[in-house]
A and B are shown apart, each in its own frame.
Chain A
């Protein structure tokens, strides 16, 4: 039975993972992720799954890869510096096409940076996973409820496309509390026949040589097979552009001005939009939910005859999301930006002021 509860974001997204059939978690404590690891340290065993506190993020993601190769729905959660340490294995997982879920509870800036919420890992997860140019599905929910909903179906997508799935929350969403609706428990499918799963061979099954799989194929040499298989992966990525793009259009119907934002920034923008509307200013919000695939066509389709100006809002200095958005917007539409960095939150009052300046 689904149920309504008031929960911290980190705990809620972890509970959704349990209900989605996740039975393996490994993580290393890092602010603002720690409450996720703490929650699963007791909740995962209670649900009959395995919890391991790893010696590092490097180890944590490799444990997740190992568990995925046992046919288990496995996940980890971390924050920017930890995600940096995971990138080699993320690229290996993209290359081997291992399904798993990674939650990145973003903090601010490079290196140690600041431990408060931010959106500064946008480029890092949208351009490529680690080295090698491959990618995975990346989601940027705006609320705890949306994090839950995405988490709940993330392994279905990960297994359908055989890909890592990354869910990008942040310190704000991770630490805050609000009422959410928890979904029912669902059973994980039997994955033991999948080519990326080792062990438990049924009679006569040929051996699985898992991480070597990209070197095999119809071509005469390993290099040719690698090239061939990566081209096949590219077709999968292209199919995402057709089938997996998600976005929200909020009060866009009669909008003359548009805010484009994702995640926490978008949620804050909605407050500003309500206040601006009360003052008779017709503003709407375009919000990408998938960061990979990015809603390129939808941004390209924004009509210059209808929209007089666009304001991007993000929690990152230097800009990242802004640059990506500008790339797809009609060149005749003026695009301004409002961003905060250093772990400072964007504020609805400041968004309001920025929009008014554009009028």
Chain B
């Protein structure tokens, strides 16, 4: 019988433990598939720092290391500079990448470090129970903004991809989404392009992936994609920003 689809060799036998409707599993699957398509499934190293991203290590067959919260931009720099031939993905959440680790993220991008950042943007701190993040939408209710995020005092959502695209060094900056099959395919293409740049010509790439956290958004998982389409993507439009 012809095999038309099978689980990527780069995924481990451990079933993912993410919440219903969470899109981390999809993102991890895409990274695994792309690594196999590029023939780097034995070589790729991932940084899986604090936040729900940390679980990635268990679900993949790649070597992986953690990082203190927010510091993958720095640990990744140290690792990659010492191991320039090893392909590297920094798999970070929006709190890790855009809040506590903003300095490390921006400076790594500005130096044009030769690695790929995949940032999962679900607009909340998922692991700690749904607190407000720099990406939380105006008016969005979270456990630390029970009346909804107030612009006065907490500012506007940080569009990290746009900030990074302003820098000269990054080669490829894009925002994609994981809420429809069509978007998932585009996201996979983006991850592949980013890794190809890293491997073939060298350079920094940033792939922001819009994701859902129905548990902390307190909405039914099946309604999350529509909410993303109607509300979230208005604030975070998808598309290539650079390269």
Contact = CB atoms under 8 A, between A and B. Distances in A.
Do A and B interact with each other, yes or no?
yes
Contacts of B68: 62, 88-89, 92
Interface residues of B, number: 32
Interface stretch (B26-34, B73-81, B214-222): B73-81
A212 B60 CA distance: 14
Contacts of B74: 54, 58-60, 62-63, 66
Contacts of A74: 78, 82
B66 A26 contact: no
A50, A55, A88 pick with most chain B CB within 10 angstroms: A55
B62 interface: yes
A65 B64 CA distance: 13
Nearest to A202: B42
Interface string B71-100: 101111111111100100000000000000
A59 B64 contact: no
Contact of B75 (A62, A71, A88, A200): A62
A112 B83 CA distance: 37
A201 B63 contact: yes
Given A92-B68, A201-B42, A207-B61, A59 B73 contact: yes
B62 A58 contact: no
B104 interface: yes
A174 to B, nearest CB: 24
Contacts of B103: 55-56, 58-59
A52 B77 contact: yes
B58 interface: yes
A23 interface: yes
Interface in A201-252: 201, 207-212
B65 interface: yes
A100 to B, nearest CB: 10
A59 B108 CA distance: 10
A333 interface: no
Contacts, number: 122
A143 interface: no
Given A59-B103, A67-B79, A199 B86 contact: yes
Contacts of A172: none
Contacts of B83: 70-72, 199-200
Interface in B28-76: 42-43, 45, 54, 57-58, 60-68, 71, 73-76
A64 B79 CA distance: 8
Nearest to A196: B65
Nearest to B106: A55
B82 A23 contact: yes
A129 interface: no
B107 interface: yes
A55, A66, A208 pick with most chain B CB within 10 angstroms: A66
A69 B71 contact: no
Secondary structure of the A contact surface, majority rule:
mixed
Nearest to B110: A55
A354 interface: no
A67 B45 CA distance: 13
A97 B70 CA distance: 20
A55 B107 contact: yes
B73 A210 contact: no
A88 B70 CA distance: 12
A198 B78 contact: no
A155 interface: no
A201 B103 CA distance: 31
Nearest to B104: A59
Given A56-B103, A200-B83, A208 B78 contact: no
Interface in B168-220: none
A207 B107 contact: no
Interface in A64-91: 64-72, 74, 88-89
A3 to B, nearest CB: 28
A66 B63 contact: no
B62 A52 contact: no
Given A67-B79, A69-B75, A72-B82, A62 B64 contact: no
Nearest to A63: B78
A24 interface: yes
A67 B58 CA distance: 22
Given A74-B82, A88-B68, A199-B43, A207 B77 contact: no
Contacts of A50: 81-82
Contacts of A208: 63-65
Nearest to B42: A201
Interface of A: 23-24, 26, 50, 52, 54-56, 58-60, 62-72, 74, 88-89, 92, 96, 198-201, 207-212
13 contacts: A52-B81, A66-B65, A66-B82, A67-B81, A70-B83, A88-B68, A198-B86, A199-B79, A199-B83, A201-B42, A201-B43, A208-B63, A210-B63
Given A66-B78, A66-B79, 17 more contacts: A24-B81, A52-B77, A58-B74, A62-B67, A63-B77, A65-B75, A66-B74, A66-B80, A67-B78, A67-B79, A71-B82, A89-B71, A96-B66, A198-B45, A199-B63, A199-B86, A212-B58
Interface of B: 12, 42-43, 45, 54, 57-58, 60-68, 71, 73-83, 86, 103-104, 107
